Amino acid sequence: MARFVVQWEYSADRDTRYAARPDHRAHLGALAERGIVLAAGPLADDTGGIVVFDTADADELQGHLAADPYTKAGVIVKTTVTEWKPALGAWLA
């Protein structure tokens, strides 16, 4: 398994984002129930969000990103993906 930190930058179109938000959160929630999303949430300034994924590889991650309602609605204007290798913390137990 590989862990990835994904940072999204949102478009300035809040109406589209707010309309897509329930489906976006349901999508990430379903992935969290399956152990694929470890943590997710918006930045404090509401300009983007961060999601930590646990997937088999980068190809699986890309599938989840493409299926996200925010991606489909054009809410995401920039995506930064970083593979992460945590060394300490509760997720490693």
> Which tens digit of pLDDT belongs to each residue from 7-49?
999 999 999 999 999 999 999 999 999 999 999 999 999 999 9
- In the chain, what percentage of residues exceed pLDDT 70? 99
Residue of 46, 1, 8, 2 lying closest to 28 (CA atoms): 8
- Model confidence at 1, pLDDT cuts 50, 70, 90, reads confident
How many CB atoms within 10 Å of residue 60? 16
Query: pTM above the 0.85 mark?
Result: yes
- Structural domains in the chain, sorted by start: 2-86 (3.30.70.1060)
What's the whole-number average pLDDT of the chain? 95
What is the number of helices (H) and of strands (E) in the chain?
3, 4
> Measured between alpha carbons, how far is 72 from 65 in angstroms, rounded to an integer?
9
